Amino acid sequence: MVKLKLANLLLLAAILVSCSSKSVRTEMIDVGNPPIKNFENITLEVSLKPFKQNDKDYIKSVCETIFRQWKPLLQYADTISVLLWTSDGSEILDYSGDMAQPLEWAKYIGNPNAPHEVNSGPRELTLHDRAYLYMENPPSFTYGDLKYIVQTLKKTGHDMTGKIIRIGETFDPGPEFAKSSFKYERHTEICMANTMGTKSFVCCYATLDADTHEYAAYPHGIPQDTPLGLFLGKQSRELMRDIGFDYLWLSNGFGFGMETWNTIGAIFDGENFHGEKMEDIQSKILHFWTSFREGCPDFRIETRGTNLSAGIDLARDGVDLRSIYSGGFNLLPPPNSPWAALDGDFGLELTGFMSRISEIPDDRYLFRFYTHDPWWSNSPWLDRYGREAHDIYLPMSVARINKQGEVKLPTNLNFLSIDNSYGNMPDQVPNEVIPHILQARKIAPDKAGPIVWVYPFDEYHNYAFSQPERLEEIFYGDWFIRQALNDGFPMNTVVSTTNFTSLMEQGNKVFDESILVSTVPDKGSKVEKQFMNFVKNGGKLIVYGPAGHASQEFLDFLNIKLDTPLDGIFNVQLTSHFDCLQPAYKLRHDKKMSGGGLETILAKQQTDTKILAKALQKGGNRDLVVVRKADKWNNGAVGYIRGTNSSTYTGGMLLSPDDASEWFIGGSLMRYSLNSFGYSIVYNKPNRDVRNPVNCISKNNNGYYFAGYVPNQTVEQILKLPQGAPIFTGMETRLQNGYATYRFPKSWSKECRVFIEQEEGIVACREMAPVEFKVGRKIGITGLKNATVRVYPAMDGSMYKAMPHNNHYPSKEIILESVKGSQFEGIYYEYKNVDGELVITW
């Protein structure tokens, strides 16, 4: 045995410690199998319920379970955070500075601030009407106990992972989590919002009445008219410093207006938009942030945000996201809303997510996934989602393009939460969720997607304060996109108009393979000029919404003109094939909900312009969809879609969509228009009122990745892209008239590296064992009949080759000539007149 010198032993030990602390992964970097990109931070959200006994050994064992369960994922984090749902935030408001002070904590299932006492009342009362203790005789905690839990989480997490552990504290404006005498007895004046009933939610810009209670930051009580932001800031600073918290999470839209869940708010009352209130509401919200930072200048803030979007929040509740982002408040932008788990409204989730990340303070942003709910007796992964991963693959296919033209993915990942309402942490949930998270991260976009939303973030904020009469246009724009996405319009990349314009001025080519989608630009704006240049140089563009503010030059570019605005009931006339089942052709256009009336018609009859959809009524006809492709544009094309918000405000939390069995859905015109740009997504379903699938398409490592949510699995999807019918790896398809037909499960995510032109037949694409040295992938395509096949291999496929599979071992290989294609986007190889089977290797 070789004896090692002491110095060598010490060096070896140092190397092992270093490897442990950095969680070095020995992941083999194979061809076509790139490594998973780390998250800057992964946050595990948890209540105190798992700590069912208040003793040190039990607390330590719970902490060990947390990090053991999620260890396969945490190795992909630079930093790990644990966000503690201690109470409802009243532990901050009530903190006196005494570690022996009893802690009111979230030990309930249901609403403990409801009129009925905890554990009382008839069984038929809902959890919103009364709460239960989550277990018999739950433990009692003091603030000192909370400090010990925080310390133990930090030490245990670091010992088990070698990484920095941050612990977060939470503040929620509502009544959901714990009893709050501060909010609902002593200081009801701060409960200005009616989110869960009259005066149920705290408003961030409220002011406090005086009281004489002792608080850590106010030992002699609260002075009259103290801003809530200042009081919360000072109290948060005291508590977080004393307990050992590292940051504060503002929950359920707190800090972003008054009515953070509802369609209505401080500006929109359900009937009218009160633009005269914009500056006052703006100043109040910003005063919250400045006063909070006066009281708590140093601790990091992370936010949940509202259930809606940047534009909707701005128009209905005066939420000036731009000023909040640019105010230097050291906050992380809000993530995707978790409410798609409750209502399946992925269109609203994706619209909100993309709009809020189009312009952010830096490149950090957050994806959040809803695994358990520790308060309302449900575990979304197991029940609401039914263990389906659509709310992973759809939002994780979203990417933003920054001002450098780089594709940016979420830097942070949160799980709400890792414990359920009974304080249990079943292994099943991390065991099942983690593989989907890692796969979605592995195939996350590395290029702009086929369809890119150029979001008017700055324009919307400018309109709201300088042209408040356009608030209804702002409100309409995001609701319309929400409906388009819910209809299956596959848009999941976003860039702000400001960044887009800058990139185009620099000659950046990041969007050359994409269809751009945006509102009609303003007369004389920089983005107007760049949109026209983009199309004239061969690009594809779709603009939507009112066109009354456009320049004559841009109207001529679209080949449309303005006429008298019309609203009311119309008949829709489509000029080409849409879905297999004909839609209802009666359209309801409400000018208040749709940014004004219908006012566009074709300007000139030209062979380069087609009208795809018309709206007809006695008062006149209007052209809803116009597409122009001029020969001099180098294959460029532009489409105009006026659009209709086919939903109304009926007093509920969100707008109510029109019944598709009776009404034409305006958002479907976006998917319909894609036919003119080479993308066909057609549905075959038994009834009009069957909900349509939601689809996303992204690109990774030269391949295409499709993801979807299928509310009703009886719907058949019929697909064709410019390159041909997509043939998904691991699936079979029946080709009909050159289109691929599929029936997908409730949630799905599929790779596509093969497109074919073939009229009929059953074609399959399967993964094959490589059985060759230094070959990473081998796929076989069967069922080919005089087909043109286009293959998109991995970018690092140096061993790329194609063979007809009629030369089985030990026969000599027959290698086909691989011709690099140039007619369509991306790097691909093309094979013509192929019969039988084709085997692709790289």
Task: Provide the pLDDT for residue 252.
Answer: 94
Task: Provide the pLDDT for residue 194.
Answer: 80
Task: Provide the pLDDT for residue 798.
Answer: 64
pLDDT above 90 coverage of the chain, percent: 88
Residue with tokens 């085997």: 839
| 154: Cα within 13 Å, side-chain hemisphere | 14
Task: Provide the pLDDT for residue 812.
Answer: 59
Taking each continuous run of H as one helix and of E as one strand, the counts in the chain are 20, 42
Task: Provide the pLDDT for residue 260.
Answer: 87
User: What's the one-letter identity of residue 251?
Assistant: S
Alpha-carbon distance of 517 to 477, in angstroms, equals: 12
Which of residues 53 and 123 earns the better pLDDT score?
53
All domains of the chain in start order, with CATH: 6-332+366-378 (no CATH), 451-678 (3.40.50), 698-841 (no CATH)
Task: Provide the pLDDT for residue 712.
Answer: 97
pLDDT band of residue 773 (cuts 50, 70, 90) is confident
Asked if the model's pLDDT at residue 568 lies above 80, the reply is yes
Rounded to an integer, the average pLDDT of 338-356 is 95
Task: Provide the pLDDT for residue 32.
Answer: 52
pLDDT band of residue 124 (cuts 50, 70, 90) is confident
Rounded to an integer, the average pLDDT of 246-251 is 98
Alpha-carbon distance of 72 to 36, in angstroms, equals: 13
Mean pLDDT over each residue of the chain, to the nearest integer = 94
Task: Provide the pLDDT for residue 122.
Answer: 86
pLDDT band of residue 28 (cuts 50, 70, 90) is very low
426-467: pLDDT as tens digits: 999 999 999 999 999 999 999 999 999 999 999 999 999 999
375-387: pLDDT as tens digits: 999 999 999 999 9
Alpha-carbon distance of 634 to 223, in angstroms, equals: 69
Which of residues 257 and 757 earns the better pLDDT score?
757
Task: Provide the pLDDT for residue 451.
Answer: 98
Query: 762, 733 in Cβ contact below 8 A?
Result: yes
Task: Provide the pLDDT for residue 803.
Answer: 86
Strand partners, 620: 617
Helices 278-295 and 457-466 sit at what angle, rounded to 10 degrees?
120
Burial annotation 219-247 (CB, 10 A radius, 16+ → b, else e): eeebeeebbbbbbbbbbbbbbbebbbbbb
Residue (of 245, 665, 738) closest to 480 by Cα position: 665
Asked if the model's pLDDT at residue 637 lies above 70, the reply is yes
pLDDT band of residue 78 (cuts 50, 70, 90) is very high
**Helix, strand, coil percentages in the chain from 3-state DSSP, rounded to 5:** 25, 30, 45
Residue (of 258, 268, 310) closest to 288 by Cα position: 258
Task: Provide the pLDDT for residue 367.
Answer: 98
pLDDT band of residue 18 (cuts 50, 70, 90) is very low
Task: Provide the pLDDT for residue 30.
Answer: 52
Residue with tokens 């006994």: 53
User: What's the one-letter identity of residue 270?
Assistant: G
Asked if the model's pLDDT at residue 317 lies above 90, the reply is yes
Task: Provide the pLDDT for residue 695.
Answer: 98
Residues composing the chain: 842
Task: Provide the pLDDT for residue 3.
Answer: 44
Alpha-carbon distance of 608 to 301, in angstroms, equals: 53
Alpha-carbon distance of 832 to 787, in angstroms, equals: 6
Strand partners, 562: 600
Task: Provide the pLDDT for residue 797.
Answer: 58
Query: 724, 471 in Cβ contact below 8 A?
Result: no
Alpha-carbon distance of 816 to 367, in angstroms, equals: 44
Residue (of 17, 26, 23, 21) closest to 9 by Cα position: 17
Please give the full DSSP string across 380-414, using - where no structure is assigned.
TTTTTSTT--HHHHTGGG-EEE-TTS-EE--SEEE
- Three-class secondary structure of residue 565 per DSSP: strand
Rounded to an integer, the average pLDDT of 685-694 is 96
Residue (of 455, 459, 537) closest to 500 by Cα position: 455
Please give the full DSSP string across 187-254, using - where no structure is assigned.
-GGG--B-BTBTT-B--TT-EEPPB----SS-TT-BPTTEEHHHHHHHHHHHHHHHHT--EEEE-TTT
Task: Provide the pLDDT for residue 806.
Answer: 55
Rounded to an integer, the average pLDDT of 397-423 is 98
pLDDT band of residue 2 (cuts 50, 70, 90) is very low
Residue with tokens 């959200």: 45
Which of residues 198 and 221 earns the better pLDDT score?
221
Q: In this structure, what DSSP letter does residue 185 have?
A: I
Residue ranges in 266-383 assigned as alpha helix (H) = 278-295, 310-317, 321-325, 340-343, 346-357
Strand partners, 763: 733
Alpha-carbon distance of 389 to 747, in angstroms, equals: 6
Phi, psi torsion values for 374, nearest 5 degrees: -80, 5
Asked if the model's pLDDT at residue 11 lies above 50, the reply is no
Q: Which distant-in-sequence residues (6+ apart) come within 8 Å of 81 by Cβ?
A: 41, 42, 43, 44, 165, 166, 167, 168, 246, 247
Asked if the model's pLDDT at residue 31 lies above 80, the reply is no
pLDDT band of residue 775 (cuts 50, 70, 90) is confident
| Per-residue CA distances from 374 to 107, 492, 840 (Å) | 9, 31, 49
Strand partners, 609: 628
pTM reported for the whole predicted model: 0.95
pLDDT band of residue 93 (cuts 50, 70, 90) is very high
Residue (of 235, 237, 240) closest to 217 by Cα position: 235
Phi, psi torsion values for 275, nearest 5 degrees: -65, -25
Asked if the model's pLDDT at residue 720 lies above 60, the reply is yes
Query: 471, 319 in Cβ contact below 8 A?
Result: no
Query: 742, 716 in Cβ contact below 8 A?
Result: yes
pLDDT band of residue 208 (cuts 50, 70, 90) is very high
Rounded to an integer, the average pLDDT of 651-660 is 93
User: What's the one-letter identity of residue 277?
Assistant: K
Task: Provide the pLDDT for residue 33.
Answer: 65
790-818: pLDDT as tens digits: 999 998 656 788 888 754 554 456 888 88
Q: Which distant-in-sequence residues (6+ apart) come within 8 Å of 618 by Cβ?
A: none
